[in-house]
Structure 1
C-alpha cells in the first residue's frame, strides 16, 4: 500500500499564447520534467488557466482520447469535424477520441480553468477508427450527497462519458469541514488532484494543486479544515493492452 504526493513544485509547467495561458502538470510529457510518469492508461494531465484569455491554435491529435473538464469560466473549441467554434462552460466536459487523426484549437476566455487529461486506449485498434467527440453539459452528471461531502460522477456507472481506454471512474468531490472516509478499490490505482482547499490524507498534508498517487488502498481518511474540492480518477493497474508509454520505453511507476 502506498501514497505518493507530488506537490505543485514537483510538477511540470508549461504555457501557450506568449504566456497568456499557464499550466501546471502533475503528469506532463516526458520531455517536460516533473516527477511522475505515465501509469495504467493515464498518459498526461494538465491544469491550464488564463487570467486574460488566450488562444491555442489549430493542432493535430491522433490515437489518444483527450478529455477537457471546465473547472471555472468558459472556453471555446474548434475542430476539423465541427468546422466551427463551440463554447463550453463551468462543469461541462468534452472528449475527443482522436483515432485516425483530427485537428482542433482552443480559446480560453478570461478566468477560464480546465483540466486536460489524455488517456491511452489500445492504439492498435483505435488508430484504425475515425475520430469522434462528445460534449456533455454540466447537468449531465449525477451528484450524490454522502453527508459531509458530495460526489459528482463524471465517468462510471450512471455517467454518460464513454471512452475506449480503460478508466473505471472519474469523480469530482466537494468535502465539507471535518473528518471523512473514502472507500477505494485496492486492486486499482487512483490519482487525486486538489482543485482548491487543503486536506490531510492519512495524515499527509496536501494543498491546492497538489497531486497524490494512491496504490493498493482500500480506504483513506480525509481531514478537511475548510471546504475542499478534489478530482479523482480510478484506473486498473494494468489496462490489458500495451500502452503508448510502454511502446516508447517510458518508465512507469507501477
Structure 2
C-alpha cells in the first residue's frame, strides 16, 4: 500500500520582472534556488497590457529545456532554428535548448488577460550539447480525465489513469499534471520512486500530504514534497472553494550546476564557453 509524501517546505511566489519588463511571480529560481532537476518556475498573470506587451524579445539559452503552458491569452514563439508556433489557451511548448538556441516569446495581443507558466528543466552533462528541438502541442492533443465528482486532470507529461501526456522523449522522465478539484474533493496519485516532486496552487487551496500530517497550501504557493523511501504518492483534500494546482515530478540528475542568466552548465569554464559561443554567433 502506498504512503503519501509529506510537504517538506511551502514557498510564496516572489514578484519579479523579466524579458522586456513582464511582471512574474517566481518560486523556483527565486526563493528556492533550484529543485533538481527543476531550475525555474514562473507564473505570468496580467490583465494590464503594460505589464506584458513588451514580452520576451530574442535571447539565448544553453544546457536545459523550457516548458511554456498557456492558460489564457496567446504568445508567439520564434527561434533561429526555423521553428515558429502560436501558444493559445491550453497549449504547451516544450523547447530543448541543448547546445544553443536563440528565441523570442511575444504576446499576440494588446489587451485582455494573459496567464501561463514557464518551467526550466535541467539537462544532464551528457545531453547539454545535444541538438536543439521543439515540440508545439495544441490544447486538443492534451488528454483530460473527468472524474465523477466533476474534478478534471489534464495530462501534459507522464501518465494519469489510462491517459498519457503528449510530451515525450524528455530525458528526466517528467510528470506534469494540471489538476482542478471541486469543493471538498480528494485526489490521490502515485509519484515515481526517487523523483523530485512539487505542487503549485493556481487557484483556491487545499490540504496536501497524509491526513494526520497534511499542510494547507494556498494560491501562488509552491509546496515541495518530501522524497523518502516508502512514500510514493500524493494525497490532496480540496478546500470549500476548490483547488487547482500543477503537480510536477522528475528524476533528479544529482550533478553540479553552474548558472549564468540563460545558460546552465556543470562548470564555470563551460559557462564562459557558452558566453563566447553566443557572442561569436555559434548558437
Residue 86 of structure 1 and its aligned partner are, at CA, apart by 3.3
Report what 2:62 is aligned to. 62
Going from structure 1 to structure 2, the CA distance change for 1:122 and 1:189 (only over 3 Å counts) comes to closer
Is this contact kept in 1: 2:20–2:56, CA < 8 A?
no
Secondary structure of the structure 1 residue equivalent to 2:71? strand
Q: How does 1:174-253 map to 2 (within 5 A)?
A: 174-185=180-191, 187=193, 188-202=195-209, 203-215=214-226, 216=228, 217=231, 218-236=233-251, 238-239=252-253, 242=255, 244=257, 247=266
Is this contact kept in 2: 1:6–1:26, CA < 8 A?
no
Structure 1, gaps ≥5 residues long: 250-254
Under a length normalisation based on structure 2, what TM-score does the superposition of the two structures give? 0.75
Deviation string 1:101-154 (CA, Å, 9 cap, x unpaired) is: 110111123421121111112232331x22110100001111112323221110
Distance in 2 (alpha carbons) for counterparts of 1:138 and 1:244:
33
Q: How does 1:9-20 map to 2 (within 5 A)?
A: 11-16=13-18, 19=21
Going from structure 1 to structure 2, the CA distance change for 1:144 and 1:119 (only over 3 Å counts) comes to same
Structure 2, gaps ≥5 residues long: 259-264, 269-283
Distance in 2 (alpha carbons) for counterparts of 1:123 and 1:137:
31
Distance in 2 (alpha carbons) for counterparts of 1:181 and 1:160:
22
| 1:39 pairs with one of 35, 39, 64 | 35
Under a length normalisation based on structure 1, what TM-score does the superposition of the two structures give? 0.83
Residue 243 of structure 1 and its aligned partner are, at CA, apart by 5.3
Secondary structure of the structure 2 residue equivalent to 1:212? strand
* CA root-mean-square deviation: 2.4
Q: How does 1:84-123 map to 2 (within 5 A)?
A: 86-108=85-107, 109=109, 110=111, 111-123=113-125
Distance in 1 (alpha carbons) for counterparts of 2:7 and 2:220:
16
Report what 2:134 is aligned to. 133
Count of residues in correspondence between the two structures: 237
Deviates more, 1:210-219 or 1:115-124: 210-219
